[in-house]
Amino acid sequence: RSWHVPSTSSSSSSTLECSPISCFYGHSASVTGIASTKRLVASCSADGALRIWKMTEPGYDTGRPPITLRAQSMSHKAPSSEALLCMNFNLHSLNAIENTDDSAQSTQHIVTGDVCGVVRSWDLSRGVCVQQFREHRGPVLDVKANLHLVVSCGEDGRVLLWDARTGCCERSLHGHEDGVSGIGWNSKNMYSVSMDGSLRVWDVGSGSEVQRMQFGAEVNAMSVGRWIVVGVGDGSVHVLRGIKDGVEPENVMLGHEDAVVAVDQLSDVFVSASRDQRVKLWRQL
């Protein structure tokens, strides 16, 4: 589902009322990941399919009732045993998609990870897999990418850095004692969170751990942007500030009644989703 989120500056209430805009149908099993740009939404599923949805379909209007968007004819199907678990547009592709029209012959890629431990890079313009990265010894739980680098993490407790052009694994970051559930980086550092309850900060050049922060339960999700936002199994959402040599606590948001499994950030708004079947929007005060 796509939702309309009202401006936080126009609401005096501590609760934002969000209305659904559109519904997306097409998968035959649970949806395990979503990535988006201004024009495209990509979804991956336990059915092994990667579907691309065009946001320019007629009727996509925040002032209208929910509609169903037709899946683009391009659909990348993996073997049924290789359920897709995570994905992300690489940053170069995201910029290319946002800054060009649909007829432009720009290269557009999306990176996926599956339950068999394989990371794949897909060329959306041709509808083919152009690169495979095989090194994980178990399901891939998160992937991030830009034009030069692909980073993946998984249940094997490792963070792997790949050369996006050659497909070679350039570095493996070790330290977590359980599956690594989320990864991200900014201009300062690389970050990973794990089911072992920790967030770790890495020096990519040396592969060494710079800082470790422990939480009271498993860490299921992380968003790296202006802030580092962490979703924890005890239902809490932690907002951290990135500094040169690591992170420092900024805020803790409580309200979920079960584990937080996904987080994101939109300028001054944080978004969290939980096993309590609620999606919450938070404002940084």
Stated pTM of the model: 0.80
Q: Convert the pLDDT of each residue in 74-116 to its tens digit.
A: 444 555 446 666 667 554 443 333 333 343 434 478 888 888 8
**pLDDT(284) > 90:** no
How is the beta sheet containing 269-274 ordered, strand by strand? 260-266, 269-274, 279-283
pLDDT of residue 75: 47
How is the beta sheet containing 118-123 ordered, strand by strand? 84-89, 109-114, 118-123, 128-134
- Tell me the three state secondary structure of residue 18: coil
Domains and CATH numbers, the chain: 2-174 (2.130.10.10)
Give the list of residues 6+ apart from residue 186 with CB closer than 8 angstroms, or none. Answer: 224, 225, 242
The C-alpha angle with vertex 55 and arms to 274 and 110, in degrees rounded to 5, equals 70
Could you tell me which of 215, 236, 220, 216 has the C-alpha nearest to residue 183? 220
Q: How confident is the model over 18-44, as a mean pLDDT?
A: 78
pLDDT of residue 6: 65
pLDDT of residue 92: 41
The mean pLDDT value of the chain amounts to 80
Dist CA 168 CA 219 (whole Å): 29
pLDDT tier, 65 (very low <50, low <70, confident <90, very high otherwise):
very low
Provide the token pair at 105.
């012959």
Share of residues in the chain with pLDDT > 70 (%): 74
Dist CA 28 CA 12 (whole Å): 41
Q: Convert the pLDDT of each residue in 188-220 to its tens digit.
A: 899 999 999 999 999 988 889 999 999 989 999
